[in-house]
Structure 1
Amino acid sequence: MAKATPKRPTRDEFELEELGNQLVEAKDDGDERSLIVWGMPEKVRGRITVLDSRTRLVHVDDNGVTRKIPFLDIMKVNFE
């Protein structure tokens, strides 16, 4: 039998809107943030440079290395 993979936690519209607002604020401030991302064992740290509404990816730059993270995989934004 195939092993069941854990599913991403579901969040309501209010939680997603609040997360979106935090990401927009982080992008506008240009400050470094840490993101808790579903399925990743460690936090992702860096500056949010692009919020791509078409692909639903958040571009995070950490010392010149850009990671593209799906919006729905981001669980929390921390101000560190």
Structure 2
Amino acid sequence: MSKPSTKSKRPVRDELELEDLANTITEAHQSKDELVLSVWRMSEKIQGRIVKLDSSTKRVHVQGYGDVRKIPFMDILKAERPEY
């Protein structure tokens, strides 16, 4: 008998949600607009420009304030334009 997993699981999204998310990220990458990303298991949101979409590693490279963060696409829960 296996032990119950206490590890939190990434929320499951349907194909349409993932497609909408991919479209938002791709549009922001092409137009060089900033996005605010909500990422699974991260308490703070990440704000920056999408500088690379790496299809081989399935990571989104986000240029924030001084650094580039490589975030797995499947860990991105929400992408929205920043409010100014």
3-state secondary structure, aligned to 2:74:
helix
TM-score (norm 1): 0.92
Cα RMSD between the aligned structures?
A: 1.4
Percent of aligned positions that are identical: 50
More strand by share: 1
Count the aligned residue pairs: 80
TM-score (norm 2): 0.88
Shift of 1:3: 6.4
For structure 2, the residue ranges without an aligned partner over 5 or more in a row are none
Give me the whole-angstrom Cα distance separating, in 2, the residues matched to 1:30 and 1:14: 24
Larger radius of gyration: 2
Q: State the match for 2:51 in structure 1.
A: 49
**Superposition pairs of residues 1-80 of structure 1, within 5 angstroms:** 4-80=6-82
For structure 1, the residue ranges without an aligned partner over 5 or more in a row are none
1:23-79 C-alpha deviation (Å, 9 max, x unpaired): 000101111111000100010011001011110000000133100000000000110
